[in-house]
A and B are shown apart, each in its own frame.
Chain A
Amino acid sequence: MTDPRPTTPVADAHLAPSTGEVLMGPPAADPVMRLRDVAVAFSGRTAVRDVSFDVGTGEITALIGPSGSGKTTLLRALNRMQDSVKSAKVTGTIMLGDLDVYAPSTDATLLRTRVGMVFQRPNPFPTMSIYDNAVAGLRFNGIRKKSLLDEAAESALVAAALWDSVRDRLKTRASTLSGGEQQRLCIARALAVEPEVLLMDEPTSALDPIATQRIEELVGELKSRVTVVIVTHNMQQAMRVSDRCAFLLMGEDRAGELIEFGPTAKLFSEPSDPRTLDYVNGRFG
């Protein structure tokens, strides 16, 4: 696979539409994930196509765009969650470090320990305690050592800003937590496995504004630990939280495509593509 990075860093590159040239914006330093010509189709009908960008290590990358633009579909392709959909077909290349995510030899179960996911609605396991939820991922993957489980659980709960409020009731049911707390538990659960990348699918859309704010702060603090790719339909959230943005839009063929990718500040102030400008100015949602 050729490395298409241009020899001179370009400060202000555009996306060359559908020519296969893939880099836009200043290149991320040592990207943790690389997407090249990624497309997802369901029973032959394309849902999202022509996606190419790099996910910078230790950055927060946001996938933004109106509904139907394929953001979530794309996100779910990154940890092979589309595998459980029989009609789904993912093409193109997704690299995690030097692992080809969709190579036949790549095990999806193992992949998911390196690329974790947090969902739109909090989904803690209701029959499990807070502690058991936090270490669930570790246990699934065969980790039994109590000291490791405890250590990982505490570290993850601290990172999710939940430790102080639950440390005395780790054995109580997860269902006793509030919505925002449950979502933070889900974040902790995903973090406990120490993934390299954390995918977040509109993690605050089911929460009230205060809980949303706490999670946004939390996400910012996660940068030292994981790389984050977050889908959000809330532009302000993208502005507040992300370092880079990928703007997707549904084309005439009803398939989403990547319009522009670049540093958040630039995308929102002086985007290169007029459609991006329209979107960030709220001309359509």
Chain B
Amino acid sequence: MSTTLVVDADSDPMLQRRREIQATATASLGRRKLSSRIAVGVCWVFLGIAIVPLIGVVAYVVAKGLPAWNAAFFTHVTTPEGIPGGGVWNAIVGTAEIGFIATVVAVPIGLTCGLFLSQSEGRIAAAVRFTADVMTGVPSITIGIFGYIAIVRNFGYSGLAGAFAIGIVMLPVIIRAGETAFRGVPFSLNEAALALGARNSTVARRVVVPTALPGTITGVLLAVARGLGETAPLLLTIFGNQYMQWSPTKPQDALPLVIYYNSSQPYADLVQIAWGAALLLMVVVLFLSIGSRVTAALLQREKR
């Protein structure tokens, strides 16, 4: 015979509580379900609000930029307003050169720092790491100012000054991405190499860097995407140049600058150029971003 629940419903406090709880729960059910439905609905609306303008920007840039893409756009240099046939060839060259120089300098330095941080635990390493983190978010115009002070003041406006500034923008991003990638290498691999008698530098060169390559490439591509899209640092360092200038030691032009300066012009053909340049820049940056993800995914799969 099992112990059954107490029958005297009116005096047992537990049963009284149960009744009161059930009563309140039932009474509030409608209200609670309605609130839930409304709140969840609001979240969906917000999702829409978030996606729509973002897609809208891309759509507009494509719609307005594509018409600007013609042969002249890509091969001619800037022409003054009113004169047709202008292009952004000089800006493309500038962007490419500046981006290249910045990458070539920032990547080795950044990855080496990342390697250092991945091997270090102390307070100093923590401070460096924190510094890199904070530097990824610092206002980029201040980096442009730094470029001005350090380079332009002494050597004049030039593509190199721009590369310097862009490199500094990219550096902390590469450092953190590199550190993360290097930390992802299982220590057992290091141990195996060391046990075979290899020196640390060999271990780094032959084990850590190759193993971490996917993550590294991903991070670098993202950093380049970021660097190419930056405008403010360039505004203060390369000055812009409507003529073709192949030498980075002189003032050059760049796509972000073209967009910036032409946006507020009252001349429709210049604005058209701005849209075309915006589309080009956006395509390149998105290509790099998507590329970094695809690389990450592909190489992840390969690892397994």
Instruction: Determine direct contact between A and B, CB below 8 Å.
Output: yes
A residues near B (Cβ < 8 Å) are 28-30, 56-59, 107, 109-110, 113-114, 138, 141-143, 148, 151-152, 155, 193-194, 196, 223-225, 243
- Asked if residues A113 and B22 are in contact (CB atoms below 8 Å), the reply is yes
B8-43 CB contacts (< 8 Å) to partner A: 13-14, 17-18, 20-22, 24-29, 31-33
Tell me the interface secondary structure of chain A in the complex: loop
- Asked if residues B28 and A58 are in contact (CB atoms below 8 Å), the reply is no
Partner of A143 from the list B2, B4, B25 (CB cut-off 8 Å) is B25
Would you mind naming 25 contact pairs between A and B with Cβ atoms under 8 Å apart?
A29-B2, A56-B2, A58-B2, A58-B3, A107-B29, A109-B29, A109-B33, A110-B25, A110-B29, A113-B25, A141-B24, A142-B24, A142-B27, A142-B28, A142-B32, A143-B20, A148-B17, A151-B13, A151-B17, A155-B14, A155-B17, A194-B18, A196-B18, A224-B5, A224-B6
Tell me the interface secondary structure of chain B in the complex: helix
Residues in B with CB closer than 8 Å to A29 are 2, 4
Q: A141-B25, A142-B31 are in contact. List 10 more A-B contacts (CB 8 A).
A: A56-B2, A57-B2, A58-B4, A59-B2, A110-B26, A113-B25, A138-B21, A143-B21, A151-B13, A193-B21
- Asked if residues B17 and A243 are in contact (CB atoms below 8 Å), the reply is no
With a 10 A CB-CB cut-off, give which of A141, A148, A155 has the most chain B CB atoms.
Answer: A141
Task: Determine the distance from Cα of A219 to Cα of B33 in the docked complex, in whole angstroms.
Answer: 33
- Asked if residues A109 and B14 are in contact (CB atoms below 8 Å), the reply is no
Task: Determine the distance from Cα of A194 to Cα of B20 in the docked complex, in whole angstroms.
Answer: 10
Residues in A with CB closer than 8 Å to B18 are 194, 196
Task: Determine the distance from Cα of A141 to Cα of B26 in the docked complex, in whole angstroms.
Answer: 8
Task: Determine the distance from Cα of A56 to Cα of B3 in the docked complex, in whole angstroms.
Answer: 10
Task: Determine the distance from Cα of A223 to Cα of B2 in the docked complex, in whole angstroms.
Answer: 9
Task: Determine the distance from Cα of A151 to Cα of B17 in the docked complex, in whole angstroms.
Answer: 9
| Given A29-B4, A109-B33, A110-B29, A143 contacting B24 (CB threshold 8 A) | yes
- Asked if residues A152 and B17 are in contact (CB atoms below 8 Å), the reply is yes
Task: Determine the distance from Cα of A143 to Cα of B18 in the docked complex, in whole angstroms.
Answer: 12
Residues in A with CB closer than 8 Å to B25 are 110, 113, 141-143
Residues in A with CB closer than 8 Å to B2 are 28-29, 56-59, 223, 243
Task: Determine the distance from Cα of A223 to Cα of B5 in the docked complex, in whole angstroms.
Answer: 8
> Top 4 nearest A-B pairs by Cβ distance?
A142-B28, A194-B18, A141-B25, A58-B4
Question: B33 CB to closest chain A CB, in angstroms?
Answer: 7
Partner of A57 from the list B4, B13, B17, B22 (CB cut-off 8 Å) is B4
Residues in B with CB closer than 8 Å to A194 are 14, 17-18, 21
With a 10 A CB-CB cut-off, give which of B17, B25, B33 has the most chain A CB atoms.
Answer: B25
Chain B, Cβ-Cβ closest to A159: B14
Task: Determine the distance from Cα of A243 to Cα of B2 in the docked complex, in whole angstroms.
Answer: 8
Chain B, Cβ-Cβ closest to A113: B25
Question: A101 CB to closest chain B CB, in angstroms?
Answer: 16
Task: Determine the distance from Cα of A196 to Cα of B33 in the docked complex, in whole angstroms.
Answer: 23
Question: A33 CB to closest chain B CB, in angstroms?
Answer: 14
